[in-house]
Amino acid sequence: VSLFVDTFGTGVIPEADIEALVRKYFDLRPRAIIRNLDLLRPIYRQVASYGHFGPLALDLPWERLDKVKELKG
């Protein structure tokens, strides 16, 4: 998995630091991505109806803020 961070000049911290935080706190191996985002759960009809942001009731894993504390460190 490749990782590239570009804040287009709007970042408050250096892009290299953001990349280091992502590498530290997110497991980017394919199996881990599938597990962490619960990609085998059949929710995609609902997601397709509302877009990838979906309604809050869907509890989409990619909308969770469970890493905020670590990232703010």
Instruction: Indicate whether 59 belongs to any domain.
Output: yes
Let me know: does 41 contact 58? Beta carbons within 8 Å: no
Instruction: Indicate whether 40 belongs to any domain.
Output: yes
The pLDDT assigned to 47 comes to 74
Q: pLDDT tens-digit profile of 20-53?
A: 999 999 999 999 999 998 889 877 777 777 665 5
Instruction: Indicate whether 12 belongs to any domain.
Output: no
**Token digits for 50?**
């509302």
Local confidence band at 63 (pLDDT 50, 70, 90 cut-offs): confident
Count of domains forming the chain = 1
Instruction: Indicate whether 13 belongs to any domain.
Output: no
Domain that holds residue 37: 28-72
Instruction: Indicate whether 16 belongs to any domain.
Output: no
